[in-house]
Structure 1
Amino acid sequence: MLDYGSLSDFELTDLLKEGDAAAYTVIYNRYFGELFIHASNRLNDKEEAQDVIHELFVTIWNKKQDLLVKSDLAAYLYTSVRNRILDIIAHRQVESKYINSLQGFLDQGYCITDHLVRERQLAELIQKGVSELPLKMREVFELSRKHCMSHKEIAVQLNISEQTVRKQVNNALKILRGKLGIMVFICI
């Protein structure tokens, strides 16, 4: 019977490459404690350190035929753990930047989509209110507001007095304020 505990790392690695589960178990037991302490000190999180080591050993078992240990097994394992820790730290930094960015966005209290929706709803309410105005009043109001014509230009075009134009625009604004007052308050 082969005494796996007395085998060198090199011999255990060769057996592992052949799919020897006992060699894998010896490697795991030999290095888990040291690697765990190393990872735990770097990550300051015992559960995450344990996950890193377990993931490393799962990867080693799954890729045992392709395992390429150039110098010694301990150096290979420590390098693998270090690289995984660096990946976790980099991920934490990205996550932290994202959370800070998101928090800054939330602190601004500004949501462009919400404002665009409200603006569109308000425009629809105004258009509906304008369409409900009496015909002549609507015509005067649209020439004033949509076509940016002066009261004098509207009076000439419609063959009415400037005073009538002024009165029609003021009446239209009063009606719209009355109809839209509550709706605008709700929208804004």
Structure 2
Amino acid sequence: MISYVTLSDNDLVAYLKDGDKAAFTEIYNRYKGLLYIHAYNRLRNQQEADDVVHELFTSLWTKRGELVLRTQLSGYLYQAIKNRIIDIYSHKKVESTYIVSLQQFINQSEAVTDHLVRENELTALIEKEIGALTPKMRVVFELSRKANLSHKQIAAKLELSEMTVKKHVNNALKILRSKLGLLTCLLYIGHH
């Protein structure tokens, strides 16, 4: 019987490629703690750090047959974690940019020439979150965003006051911001 604890990383990788679950478990036990600490130090969020480590090991197992190491296993795992963290920051930066852009568009309450391009980008990004808004808030928000109606037009169409329309739009933005988790220091990882 093989004692996986005593095997080198290279031997473990060879067993892993053959689908050996015990070798995978040993790699996991050997590196999960260090990778979590590294991820947490960058993300400052326990759930995100857990998720990124879990996704890395899931990917390592599912793609074990295609695994090609050009460096030591530890170097490969750290680079993979770093890449995943960069992806998280990039995604959040994109979300932040689009939500700020949407806020400016709604605050101006006027047609913007790139509205259709903006709408398509925003739709893909936040459609799921919009679906979770209260029905009235969602209707007001979608009339503002999709139909490009002014607060006054929406108020007339829905028989609401302009103040109520504005309140619904602002509350929707507040909810979307909280759900999309805007960060204050998006480029932190790029400088470390």
Q: TM-score scaled by structure 2?
A: 0.58
In 2, Cα distance between equivalents of 1:25 and 1:114: 56
- Matching residue of 1:2: 2
Cα 1:113–1:96, aligned 2, differ >3 Å: closer, same or farther?
closer
- Matching residue of 1:25: 25
| 1:16 matched to 2:16 | yes
Q: CA deviation at 1:104?
A: 1.2
Q: CA deviation at 1:107?
A: 1.8
- Matching residue of 1:113: 148
- Matching residue of 1:79: 79
Map Cα deviations across residues 135-161 of structure 1 (whole Å, 9 max, x no partner).
Answer: xxxxxxxxxxxxxxxxxxxxxxxxxxx
More contact order relative to length (CA 8 Å, sep ≥ 6): 2
Q: CA deviation at 1:114?
A: 2.1
Gaps of 5+ in 2: 111-143, 154-192
Which residues of 2 match residues 40-119 of structure 1 at below 5 A?
Answer: 40-110=40-110, 113-114=148-149
The count of residues paired between Structure 1 and Structure 2 equals: 118
Q: Which structure is larger by alpha-carbon Rg, 1 or 2? A: 1
> Does the residue aligned with 1:19 lie in a helix, a strand or coil?
coil
In 1, Cα distance between equivalents of 2:103 and 2:149: 18
CA RMSD of aligned residues (A): 1.9
- Matching residue of 2:188: none
Q: CA deviation at 1:109?
A: 3.2
Q: Which amino acid aligns with 2:148?
A: T
Q: Which amino acid aligns with 1:64?
A: R
Which residues of 2 match residues 173-184 of structure 1 at below 5 A?
Answer: none
In 2, Cα distance between equivalents of 1:98 and 1:82: 24
Q: Which amino acid aligns with 1:24?
A: F
Q: CA deviation at 1:106?
A: 2.1
Q: CA deviation at 1:70?
A: 1.6
- Matching residue of 1:146: none
In 2, Cα distance between equivalents of 1:13 and 1:66: 11
Gaps of 5+ in 1: 119-188
Which residues of 2 match residues 152-167 of structure 1 at below 5 A?
Answer: none
> Does the residue aligned with 1:100 lie in a helix, a strand or coil?
helix
- Matching residue of 1:145: none
In 2, Cα distance between equivalents of 1:82 and 1:38: 9
Q: CA deviation at 1:23?
A: 0.2
Map Cα deviations across residues 50-103 of structure 1 (whole Å, 9 max, x no partner).
Answer: 101110111110011111112210000000000011111111111110111111
In 1, Cα distance between equivalents of 2:35 and 2:148: 49
